[in-house]
Amino acid sequence: MTTLLIENAYLAPVAGPEIPHGYLRIDGDRITALGPMDRLPALPHAERVDATGCLATPGLVNTHHHLYQWATQGLAQDATLFDWLVTLYPVWAAMDAEVVHGAALAGLAHLALSGCTTSSDHHYLFPHGRGDLLAAEIAAARDVGLRFHPARGSMDRGRSSGGLPPDDVVEPIDRILDATADAVDAHHDPSPSSMLRIAVAPCSPFSVSGELMTEAARLARDKGVRLHTHLAETLDEEEHCLAQFGVRPVAYMERLGWLGPDVWVAHAVHLSDGDIGRLAATGTGVAHCPSSNGRLGAGVARVADLLRGGANVGLGVDGSASSELTTMAGEMRQALLFQRARSGPDALTARQALELATLGGARNLGREADLGTLEPGKLADVALWRVDGPFTAAVDDPVCALVLGPQPPLARLLVGGRTVVAGGELRTVPHDAAGRAGVAAHRRLLRLAAERR
């Protein structure tokens, strides 16, 4: 078993005190020790990484994304969520496995370069006869080398049934449930070191029937996997739920059995005090997506109130079509600034923002036992940020430099002890090739969409 020593780093473990001049020992894919440099044991045969001038944090955990949307960045720039969806549904309906693979390769590479070691993805649109879209993004994650939690999404409620999507982009409920069960059986790895886990993720209250929500929850719990959906993102959604179901979105989810410690929801912008209480009491997690919520004019989630109420909150970059080129490191800064703009300068600290992006995300994905902190026994998912540059070095607090400033250079990114990024360059796939794959996916999708018209 290979021993790797990261030496001379400023350690921000998230759990436990920070160590200004410390070491991190990795054996195989696990952290086995950490501490101050003056207590470093003699390990003559270890591989060493000199991290002088670097801040070491847990790898960042992205808990909400739509990777296929890399191919439609820059469209519907000034639309609200519902108008944006109506504009883009016909374009997305043309996607195939080649588009999804290229978009996912670019999106996951971009995440890795922003310090992300684990990403979920909510893929909810499966045009019939367009190849195995879930397998395409799983292959991309394997190539890039990130831990991946794809959520097999779905929509069964088209316009003719009172939903928002056009009827030609929804699926029959039986096909959805069969395909979701097959995805879990084929891909889900529940082991502690898992690189791949599947979640069950009907899209949203305005695109999914109550029957599908109920049956999907039953399927997920029978299989022992987690549940994910969009919730309370906009006032339009709230009005839709009140008109169609007679209750607000959180109450509707509770009615369907969709609150609990095995559930995390995306956005949760428009919450009452009672909603916050129900999310906290049931252990339901929240994926906060500040840049996307701002881009679509959805509002500012009550993250500070959620945290005070005892709810778990992680971060998500959301789909690139509503959050162009957003980075995980950047979302820490956005989360902090949005909360302070809403509730004052003590609403969220830099270290709380780092916790949202690490341990909060790990909890959302049910992986807090193995991810989200730098501790002995945890998986060796580590980001090393260079904070000694000619401008960054003016900030004495490295965590402040990471969260409040622009993203520092990423010196190294380890996933299970394996180097994915070094010196700001990908080491798993050719750096430029990943970007070109995203451009090709964009052009192919627009061409396929034009041919469908």
Per-residue pLDDT tens for 393-440? 899 999 999 999 999 999 999 999 999 999 999 999 998 999 999 999
Classified as helix, coil or strand, 290 is helix
Does residue 74 surpass a pLDDT of 90? yes
Instruction: Render pLDDT for 350-369 as a digit per residue (tens, 0 to 9).
Output: 999 999 999 999 999 999 99
Query: What residue type is assigned to position 377 of the chain?
Result: G
The pTM assigned to this predicted structure is 0.97
Dihedral angle computed from the Cα positions of residues 64, 322, 300 and 248, in that order, rounded to the nearest 10 degrees: -70
Does residue 391 surpass a pLDDT of 90? no
How far apart CA 453 and CA 186 sit, in angstroms, is: 35
Residue with tokens 């921000």: 12
How far apart CA 451 and CA 430 sit, in angstroms, is: 32
Does residue 168 surpass a pLDDT of 90? no
Instruction: Render pLDDT for 190-248 as a digit per residue (tens, 0 to 9).
Output: 999 999 999 999 999 889 999 999 999 999 999 999 999 999 999 999 999 999 999 99
Domains and CATH numbers, the chain: 3-58+378-424 (2.30.40.10), 60-364 (3.20.20.140)
Q: Give every CB contact of residue 334 below 8 A, 6+ residues apart in sequence.
A: 290, 291, 294
| pLDDT, position 314 | 98
DSSP notation for 43-80: -TTSEEEE-TTEEEEEPEEE----GGGGGGTTSSTT--
Classified as helix, coil or strand, 143 is helix
244, two tokens = 């169609």
